[in-house]
């Protein structure tokens, strides 16, 4: 089962195809399955073609010093019967027959093959047994295993041969023709190949050189820091034949040295190469270089004398220190409480986890009482002076409304923000000189509601 799904597997099924008379032609094989419902099941078929194609049975040619001969008839038939050349003796009823000791070279044997129903007719095949087999061990070319990555040695297996590798250390299977080799150090492997009858023993050697690159990555400095703080990040690797540094998986032009000084935020790693042609990546190292936010000046806060008011620093970083600490209950806070009788200018030092420091300013003005003031006149002529009619809030923490009416009682402007105010336009039309009535209501720092009204003159 895979992820609670049942997977059905069928063992290998072998078949034989007679290609006599088709030399030089292209053969196309078609496979059809009738056991799956469309779109409800799936299946995979794996095909392995025997490269040792010949007109002889496997094992019909044997070694002079074999102690036995194993002869295999073609695959894919329902039953087999082996006979001597005169058909006077049944030698066996399996697909493979073992003759021990081997018969005289030149002996002919026959096999009667019966196909499955509907797949052909009964047939008889003949094999002549001759002792001319020559076995050559092939351990393959010398190779390199990089960083203990398995490499394949040997060659494609041939039917009827027996393989044995020595030493077996680091091999996926020492009893096959082409195992995967993963030695911990440079190793010479010896392949012994013989016929399955025991004869024609031959050997061959292959050297698997183990080449290892130390891909350790060292960070000197900090992985996270603030620009301009004096901190830095330097990445280092051990010496190699060639080095290439990467940022966010893209190669850095000219970055081929053993050490690399990081100059911007990113994910860094190096690819290392040695003289054996091996290469490997280091682990990735994330570097974050922060930049301090510029300081700002907060809007003036009005506080009624001896009445507590909460101040508010910008909400970022991990700490805020107000200086000087006078008239504050907790200067090491984003929201200290001010209680005082005189004006005070504060510097707020905000620090981030990366070490960046931002300094903001906050002026607190003390007033004897909460009030709302509105100028008696304004001149909206775009000269930058008195162009807007707006309320001046003293100790008001929330403006509920600010409304302006013309002489006919028509509402010409309304807002809940003190800025920017009314510019003297109504529906995009400049209003003439006139007297207007204003009304304002707000909540004071003492949590009381204050309502004010009055008149102002629009002057053109």
Give the angle 176-179-183 at the CA atoms, nearest 5°. 135
Secondary element (H or E) of residue 246: strand 242-247
Query: CB–CB of 128/195 below 8 Å?
Result: no
pLDDT value at 334 more than 60: yes
Domains in the chain, CATH or no CATH each: 1-122 (no CATH), 143-211 (2.60.40.10), 218-287 (2.60.40.10), 301-367 (2.60.40.10), 371-458 (2.60.40)
- Give, rounded to a whole angstrom, the gap between the first and last alpha carbons of the chain: 88
What pLDDT does residue 446 have?
Answer: 83
Could you give the angle at the alpha carbon of 133 between the alpha carbons of 128 and 137, nearest 5°? 150
pLDDT value of residue 1: 55
Task: Please choose, from the candidates 216, 196, 93, 190, the residue with its C-alpha nearest in 3D space to the C-alpha of residue 135.
Answer: 196
* pLDDT per residue as tens digits for the range 395-407: 888 999 999 999 9
Per-residue confidence (pLDDT) for residue 53, from 0 to 100: 56
Q: What is the spatial distance between Cα 400 and Cα 416, in angstroms, rounded to a whole number?
A: 6
397: region left, alpha or beta (phi > 0 left; psi from -120 to 50 alpha) = alpha
Asked if pLDDT for residue 35 goes beyond 70, the answer is: no
Confirm if 279 and 255 have CB atoms less than 8 A apart.
no
Q: What is the predicted pLDDT for the residue at 18? A: 72
Q: Are 179 and 165 in contact (CB under 8 A)?
A: yes
Residue 4: pLDDT over 80:
no
3-state secondary structure 276-319: CCCEEECCCEEEEEECCCCCCECCCEEEECCCCEECCCCCCCCE
Q: Is the pLDDT of residue 194 over 70?
A: yes
Which has the minimum average pLDDT: 26-30, 81-85, 356-360? 26-30
pLDDT digit string, tens, across residues 121-150:
899 999 889 988 889 999 999 999 999 999
How far is the C-alpha of 82 from the C-alpha of 129, rounded, in Å? Answer: 14
Q: pLDDT-derived band of residue 55, with 50, 70 and 90 as boundaries?
A: low
How is residue 33 annotated by DSSP?
-
pLDDT score recorded for residue 453: 96
| pLDDT bracket for residue 29 (50, 70, 90) | confident
Sign of CA dihedral 443, 444, 449, 450: negative
> What pLDDT is stored for residue 117 in this prediction?
87
Closest C-alpha to 373, from 403, 398, 393:
393
Q: What is the mean pLDDT of residues 48-56?
A: 60
Flag whether pLDDT at 14 surpasses 80. Answer: no
pTM: 0.60
Quick one: pLDDT at residue 228? 86
Instruction: Give 406-411's long-range contacts (Cβ < 8 A, gap of 24+).
Output: 406/431, 406/434, 406/436, 407/434, 407/435, 407/436
Higher pLDDT, 178 or 57: 178
How far is residue 322's CA from residue 155's CA, in Å, rounded to a whole number? 78
- Name the range with the highest mean pLDDT among 154-163, 242-251, 441-450: 242-251
pLDDT tens figures, 262-320? 999 999 999 999 999 999 999 999 999 999 999 999 988 888 888 888 999 999 999 99
Chain segment 201-250, per-residue pLDDT in tens: 999 999 999 999 999 999 999 999 999 888 899 999 999 999 999 999 99
- Average pLDDT of the residues in 380-401: 90
pLDDT tier for residue 40 given thresholds of 50, 70 and 90? low
């Amino acid at each position: 089962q895979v992820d609670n799904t049942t997977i059905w597997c069928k063992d290998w099924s072998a078949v034989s195809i007679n290609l006599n008379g088709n030399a030089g032609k292209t053969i196309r094989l078609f496979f059809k399955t009738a056991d799956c419902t469309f779109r409800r099941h799936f299946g995979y078929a794996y095909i392995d073609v025997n490269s040792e194609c010949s007109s002889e049975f496997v094992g019909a040619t044997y070694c002079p010093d074999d102690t036995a001969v194993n002869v295999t008839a073609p695959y894919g038939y329902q039953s087999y019967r082996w006979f001597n050349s005169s058909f006077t003796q049944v030698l066996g009823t399996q697909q493979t027959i073992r003759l021990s000791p081997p018969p005289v070279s030149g002996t002919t044997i026959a096999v009667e093959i019966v196909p499955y129903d509907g797949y052909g007719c009964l047939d008889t095949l003949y094999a002549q047994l001759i002792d001319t087999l020559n076995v050559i061990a092939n351990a393959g070319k010398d190779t390199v295993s990089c960083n203990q990555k398995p490499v394949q040695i040997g060659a494609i297996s041939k039917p009827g041969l027996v393989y044995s590798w020595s030493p077996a250390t680091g091999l996926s299977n020492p009893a096959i023709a082409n195992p995967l080799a993963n030695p911990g150090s440079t190793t010479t492997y010896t392949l012994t190949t013989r016929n399955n009858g025991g004869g024609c023993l031959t050997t061959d050697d292959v050297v698997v050189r183990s080449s290892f690159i130390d891909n350790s990555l060292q960070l000197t400095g900090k992985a996270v820091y603030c620009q301009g703080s004096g901190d830095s990040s330097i990445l280092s690797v051990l010496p190699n034949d060639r080095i290439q540094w990467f940022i966010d998986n893209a190669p850095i032009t000219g970055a081929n040295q053993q050490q690399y000084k990081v100059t911007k935020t990113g994910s860094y790693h190096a690819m290392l190469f040695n003289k054996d042609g091996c290469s490997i990546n280091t682990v990735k190292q994330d570097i974050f270089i922060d930049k301090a936010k510029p300081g700002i000046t907060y809007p003036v806060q009005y506080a009624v004398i001896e009445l507590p008011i909460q101040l508010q620093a910008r909400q970022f970083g991990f700490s805020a220190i107000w200086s000087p600490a006078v008239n504050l209950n907790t200067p090491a806070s984003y929201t200290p409480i001010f209680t005082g009788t005189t004006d005070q200018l504060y510097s707020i030092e905000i620090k981030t986890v990366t070490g960046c420091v931002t300094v903001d300013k906050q002026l607190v003005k003390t007033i004897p009482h909460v009030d709302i003031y509105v100028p008696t006149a304004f001149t909206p002529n775009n000269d930058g002076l008195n162009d807007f009619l707006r309320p001046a809030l003293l100790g008001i923490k929330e403006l509920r409304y600010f409304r302006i009416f013309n002489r006919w009682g028509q509402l010409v402007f309304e807002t809940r923000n003190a800025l920017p105010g009314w510019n003297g336009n109504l529906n995009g039309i400049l209003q003439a000189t006139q007297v207007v009535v204003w009304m304002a209501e707000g909540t004071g720092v003492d949590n009381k509601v204050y309502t004010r009204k009055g008149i102002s003159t629009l002057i053109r």
